A and B are shown apart, each in its own frame.
Chain A
Amino acid sequence: QKEVEQDPGPLSVPEGAIVSLNCTYSNSAFQYFMWYRQYSRKGPELLMYTYSSGNKEDGRFTAQVDKSSKYISLFIRDSQPSDSATYLCAMSGVNRDDKIIFGKGTRLHILP
């Protein structure tokens, strides 16, 4: 079983829809959970950063972590064509030497 699993997509949704992106993981030591957004031919940018379980909201974006199910989600409300990008989940343990494990990314297309 891979440490982090993420559906590569592509996922196509109409403008204005709610988007749900997900990752599952196997390592129960993960405590930091991140979502990065990457536009084509650009470097990823940090979108959401959470510690342990729970929800975090930032504008149209909500990150959820369910450690009991080893499942994390990113919700995008009122999706816009500018949200079209690849979304990478990432996670790590708490120790300084713990490596960040990235998912392979989900390609998202918002259709005008």
Chain B
Amino acid sequence: DGGITQSPKYLFRKEGQNVTLSCEQNLNHDAMYWYRQDPGQGLRLIYYSQIVNDFQKGDIAEGYSVSREKKESFPLTVTSAQKNPTAFYLCASSPQQGRYTFGSGTRLTVV
């Protein structure tokens, strides 16, 4: 079945540590996105990529980094510069405007 796989489902980060969230899709979609979801805040765009080897900052890119070396993969690194990383992270892909397929999310907690 085609879809988006996010891993891990739960992730714990220590202070000062970088962590990487995985996002893989087999839908052959060109565009991929990372969102952060906090209670009462809705979805906020972190980074997006419309083509391999190219990506753009979203609304809250500070403290995050991404790469897009393969069409299928769009990993997100949460760096130690992100001061409040505890949140639910969602990856999505899209073949056309607005038709997103989301992954099941990664819940990141700082310990």
In residues 91-109 of chain A, which contact B (Cβ within 8 Å)? 91-92, 94, 96, 98-100, 102-105
Given contacts A42-B105, A49-B99, contact A102 B43 (CB under 8 A): yes
**CB nearest neighbor in B for A4:** B42
User: Given A8-B40, A99-B45, A103-B42, are A92 and B105 neighbors across the interface (CB < 8 Å)?
Assistant: no
Asked if A49 and B104 make an inter-chain contact with CB atoms under 8 angstroms apart, the answer reads no
B98→A44 contact, CB < 8 A: no
Structural contact, A49 and B90, CB atoms closer than 8 A: no
* Bound CA span A98–B98, Å: 10
Is B100 among interface residues, defined by CB-CB distance under 8 A? Answer: yes
Q: Give B98's nearest chain A residue, CB to CB.
A: A32
Q: Are B42 and A100 in contact (CB under 8 A)?
A: no
Q: Which residues of B contact A (CB under 8 A)?
A: 4, 6, 40-43, 45, 50, 58, 88, 90, 92, 97-105, 107
